[in-house]
A and B are shown apart, each in its own frame.
Chain A
Amino acid sequence: MNWGWVASNSHQIMAALLQHIQLVGLALLFGFLIAFPLALLAVRWPRLYGPSLAVTGVMFTIPSLALFILLMPFTGLSMATSLIGLTLYTLLILFRNIVQGLRGVSPSVREAARALGYTPARRLFAVELPIALPVIVAGIRIAAVTIIGMVTVTALIGQGGLGQLFITGFTLSFATPLVIGFVLSVVLAVAVDLALVGILYWLTPWQRGVR
């Protein structure tokens, strides 16, 4: 480790970290905004679920690197290229977990809500979503941690957040930037994961103490 390099390049390291967080945050946000309505449709019309799952399964076999490169003719070396690719991968994980979570709501609970005169929208937001929350948050955790690692690959198409430090280390044959990028991305993943666990704990007071 060469701490001198770290000190003199702290600006570049911060910028890479910030871009990393930005890419992950935006990809999760867009992924959720798309996956949520799709999941509602798939729960409402179960016939849609099988085909959606098949498509997502095949999508997962496409190497992320290939997906990023193939998006380049449309969006160039811009941030959009890596953002679209990352969003697609979050979509697959989020969609599956939101559907599973909503399906796990017991029919008797649903009927009880209806019997109490809840409108469908209120039933969804006040009853079904809270019950489905642990499974949905589990999906967000997997998606977040997975794409925090995946962002680094987009360094090969000129983005990459902390992945830029990997490229720097490789071209200079110099381990310091690599170790920094590596440690920061693992720490980021663990921090985000713990934060999500904390948010879930805070949002689901009725689950505390239940095991």
Chain B
Amino acid sequence: MNSDFMTLIAGVIDWFSQPMNWQGPGSIPEHVLEHVTYVVISTLIGAAIALPIGIGLGHSGRGGLMAINISNIGRAIPAFGVIILVFLLAGFGVIPVIVALVALAIPPMVTNSFVGMREVDPAVRQAAVALGMTGWQRLWQVELPIAMPLIMAGVRTSAVQVMSTATLAAYVGLGGLGRYLIDGLAVRDLSQVLVGAILVAVLAIVTELLLAGVQRLITAKGLQ
């Protein structure tokens, strides 16, 4: 077992040090780029759908049960099944993967943005009304800035989940870092699997840090 482990680690080091793994088709940069493309597109589409729903429901204070139900049922949808099902319906291409990842990205963002908006102190809300602010002004200048940390927490959760699930794209013949997992599994090459796992984990951590930076940039100074 110990020597197996050493062979595994040696294989990983070997993989990362081969120049051919760093250039051209099937190389690490290419798979990373494919992977990041799936993640960015899906998270953005997911945010464009989820944030208006969560923020709107939270702002109006209605439909809380709906927000929670969307998110519960959404979490129950198996991404693996969606990918294959849409693949059978739409054929080869990025659509199955994007659909599955968008479905995965929506629930955490709906819940978090809804909760974030609801947690705005009612006294603050009333003060804004008393100052004569319109609904839009209250939304943009008072509620959204206060809810921003929770909204961003939802975006971060979604992005990290999408990042690790995007590996399933390889099962329906696409690229991305899942190629290392699926191909490694097919030929029982665990070093290759570990390479993929390490790259995805690093990407996920980088994403977390980047989004934490974005959060700091867009959170009002007084709320940090």
Contact = CB atoms under 8 A, between A and B. Distances in A.
Contacts of A150: 78
A70 B194 contact: yes
Contact of A67 (B78, B168, B197): B197
Interface of A is mostly: helix
Nearest to B178: A65
A175 B163 CA distance: 27
A170 B87 contact: yes
Interface string A166-199: 1001100111001101100110011001000000
B77 interface: yes
Interface in B154-204: 160, 163-165, 167-168, 171-172, 178, 181-182, 184-185, 190, 193-194, 196-197, 200-201, 204
A65 to B, nearest CB: 5
B223 interface: no
Interface of B is mostly: helix
B88 A62 contact: no
Given A186-B76, A190-B72, A178 B184 contact: no
Given A63-B197, A65-B167, A190-B73, A58 B205 contact: yes
A178 B85 contact: yes
Name the interface size band of chain A. 35 or more
A69 interface: yes
A162 B84 CA distance: 13
Contacts, number: 121
A101 B205 CA distance: 27
B167 A66 contact: yes
22 contacts: A58-B205, A60-B160, A61-B160, A61-B163, A61-B164, A61-B204, A62-B197, A63-B164, A63-B165, A66-B196, A70-B190, A73-B4, A74-B1, A148-B76, A149-B76, A163-B78, A166-B78, A182-B81, A182-B85, A185-B76, A186-B73, A186-B78
B123 interface: no
A22 to B, nearest CB: 17
Contacts of A74: 1
Given A69-B190, A148-B78, A175-B85, 6 more contacts: A61-B163, A63-B197, A66-B167, A70-B190, A149-B77, A153-B168
